[in-house]
């Protein structure tokens, strides 16, 4: 449980830092996910990202994830789908 909480805090804090660095663009799009993980010094493959985003999109009823704006919670879910604590 502690590992989960530590990872959750890391993903959320780094999400906020990444968003501040990414000035002027309020939407967090599919194309931003790989850059976010690189910001965290993590390097998931495109296939891993697409698998996680597809899974989360299906759960939330999102049809076109490549044009969807993702929330912080969505991005944290992507992180936990790829990197299970």
Cα–Cα separations (whole angstroms), residue 80 to 44, 53, 71: 12, 11, 14
Please answer whether residues 76 and 7 qualify as being in contact, where contact means their C-beta atoms are separated by less than 8 angstroms.
no
Model confidence, pTM: 0.88
Please answer whether residues 75 and 11 qualify as being in contact, where contact means their C-beta atoms are separated by less than 8 angstroms.
yes
Residue 21 pLDDT: 87
Please answer whether residues 85 and 4 qualify as being in contact, where contact means their C-beta atoms are separated by less than 8 angstroms.
yes
Residue 85 pLDDT: 83
Residue 27 pLDDT: 83
Q: Per-residue confidence of the chain (85 residues) as pLDDT tens digits?
A: 898 999 999 999 999 999 988 776 678 899 999 999 999 999 999 999 999 999 999 999 998 999 999 999 999 999 999 999 8
């Amino acid at each position: 449980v502690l590992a989960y909480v530590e990872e959750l805090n890391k993903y959320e804090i780094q999400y906020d830092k990444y968003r501040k660095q990414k000035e002027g663009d309020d939407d967090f799009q599919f194309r931003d996910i790989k850059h976010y993980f690189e910001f965290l010094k993590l390097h998931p493959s495109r296939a891993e990202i697409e698998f996680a985003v597809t899974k989360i999109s299906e759960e939330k009823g999102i049809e076109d994830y490549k044009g969807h704006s993702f929330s912080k919670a969505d991005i944290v879910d992507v992180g936990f789908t790829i990197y299970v604590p």
